[in-house]
Amino acid sequence: MKPVIYSLLGLLLVASLSCRKTYEALVPYDFTNLPGSGQFGTAVRAVTNGVYTVSNGASEFGDQVALKWTYLHNGADTSYYLSVFTGKDAAYFNLEGTSQTDSLVLGGYWRKLVNDQIGLAQLTLRVKHQGKLQLYKGQLAPGDTMVIDGLYGDKNSKLSHPITLTYNRPLNSRPFSIMAHRSGGRTSDLLPASENSVEIIKLASRLGATGIEVDVRYTKDGVPILYHDNTLNLRLIQKNGLMGPVEDYTYQQLSTFVRLINGEKIPTLEEALETVVNNTALNFVWLDTKYIGPMDKVQAIQQKYRQKALQAGRDLRIIIGLPSTEAVDSYKALANKENTPILCELDTALTRSLGARIWAPRWTLGPQTAEVQAMKAAGLTVFVWTLDEPEFIREFIGQNQFDGILSNYSPVVAFYHYTEQP
């Protein structure tokens, strides 16, 4: 009888091991996305930007944070958001001004990208005037110090923990590109929008990005779309029965049947660039070439949206990335390629021979000091990818060699860049 019992116990063990835990980080705050800045006008936003010392809450978020306002255009309206970038666990806050009239109050949430921790946050703007803390009403006298304090909560609890931020210094103003991988961040990091979606592009600035890298593939009928992997899989899309290479499906089939993990459609490259131009403050788009084949359609779209950006008065660079020799061959086969800006991820000699204006080596090759200096001396911009390790991000920014970092953790890059003291 013993074997029977062992067998049943074994099956029970197998069954229990086979239950998969679902990880999620649902945003606990509903953004009103109200147009206009309300009480948080230009002057208020300007004095709020800066590096702050954390007193209450330092154990959770580190001893200093960077606060930066961003915006999102929606037609003629503009909504403003305050991001807080921290130096611990890739945590960030995403806040908006509330409609309270008696004080300047921010509401939103905080999130740690290294795990699924998330919670509500509510902060009030105050000012320390002659050693006394009082509500900030939009006026800052000489000698006054901005203090932002309030409460934050854990995933399942209401606001309960105090947090206090005291203004320390302005943000580092050195020009630097903070580029978010996969249009803003990875789906696997449980962000509120799926990677390579229109929604994550709209979120990218709030995650600290000044630019994005998007993954371009073609559908069966030749429509350039944004999608990272070479197959439809449950890492990126909701279950629907479709599998296999993305290139096997027409755009209409994908558009009808496939939804990304958070319910978004797979966007076309045109929809993505339309969003960048019309809705965001992003100033750089890196079109990563994930396809093998002709590049002419992508080139035409790049030129079309470069013109649209110029007409809109936007200083937006849209660059075609060349990550492989196949992509280089596709680029070489283009007609009129002289006016097509490219970024080369391969060696420096090839980068120079192609006339690329940007060289982007992978970070695992190290600082490459001599090569980077030589390329910069030749007038090229040098980015490094895809760097997610906070210690290396800090080190690379501190070395002040690269012009930008591509990362899945743009809040971490933003923190180290904005808090860097020249």
Partner 1 sequence: MSMIYRRLQTTSWVVLLLLLSLAVQAQRPSSARRQRRLQAIEADTLTDTRRGPYTVVVTAGGGLSYYSTHLGVPAAIEQTRLSRFGTPSSLRVMWYPDHRLRVGLETGWTTMYSYRGQVAGENTHVYVSAVPILVVFSMPLGWLTGTDRSIARRMAITAGTGLYVNHSRLDYLGTVMTNTNSLGWMAAASYTYPIGRRFRIAGELKWFDAVAVENAAFTAELQLVWRAFSW
Applying CB under 8 A, the residues found at the interface with partner 1 are: 2-4, 6-7, 10-11, 13-14, 17-18, 20, 231, 233-235, 238-245, 248-250, 252-253, 256-259
Q: How far is the CB of 116 from partner 1 (least distance, A)?
A: 13
Q: How far is the CB of 363 from partner 1 (least distance, A)?
A: 21
Nearer to partner 1 by C-beta: 23 or 143? 23
Q: How far is the CB of 22 from partner 1 (least distance, A)?
A: 11
Distance CA 332, CA 12 (A): 60
Q: How far is the CB of 258 from partner 1 (least distance, A)?
A: 8
Alpha helices in 160-295 (DSSP H): 198-204, 251-257, 269-279
Nearer to partner 1 by C-beta: 6 or 36? 6
**β partners of residue 305:** none
Nearer to partner 1 by C-beta: 241 or 313? 241
Alpha helices in 121-220 (DSSP H): 198-204
Nearer to partner 1 by C-beta: 19 or 377? 19
Distance of CA 335 to the CA centre of its chain: 33
Q: How far is the CB of 214 from partner 1 (least distance, A)?
A: 22
Alpha helices in 235-347 (DSSP H): 251-257, 269-279, 296-311, 325-332
Nearer to partner 1 by C-beta: 174 or 235? 235
Q: Residue 24 corresponds to which amino acid?
A: E
Nearer to partner 1 by C-beta: 22 or 421? 22
Q: ∠ CA(317), CA(323), CA(328), 5° rounding? A: 90
Answer yes or no: are the C-beta atoms of 142 and 127 closer than 8 Å: no
Q: How far is the CB of 244 from partner 1 (least distance, A)?
A: 3
Listed residue (43, 48, 44, 40) closest to 65, CA to CA: 48
Q: How far is the CB of 263 from partner 1 (least distance, A)?
A: 9
Q: Are strands 358-359 and 342-344 parallel, antiparallel or unpaired?
A: parallel
**β partners of residue 150:** 123, 163
Q: How far is the CB of 6 from partner 1 (least distance, A)?
A: 6
Nearer to partner 1 by C-beta: 60 or 388? 388
Answer yes or no: are the C-beta atoms of 41 and 52 closer than 8 Å: no
Listed residue (3, 29, 24) closest to 107, CA to CA: 29
Nearer to partner 1 by C-beta: 237 or 295? 237
Nearer to partner 1 by C-beta: 233 or 369? 233
Question: In this structure, how many other beta carbons lie within 10 angstroms of the beta carbon of residue 297?
Answer: 17
Nearer to partner 1 by C-beta: 8 or 43? 8
Distance CA 372, CA 171 (A): 26
Answer yes or no: are the C-beta atoms of 118 and 110 closer than 8 Å: yes
Distance CA 45, CA 95 (A): 13
C-alpha distances in Å from residue 26, one per residue of 153, 172, 189, 236: 14, 32, 12, 17
N-terminal to C-terminal alpha carbon distance within the chain = 75
Distance CA 26, CA 259 (A): 18
Q: How far is the CB of 20 from partner 1 (least distance, A)?
A: 7
Q: How far is the CB of 255 from partner 1 (least distance, A)?
A: 9
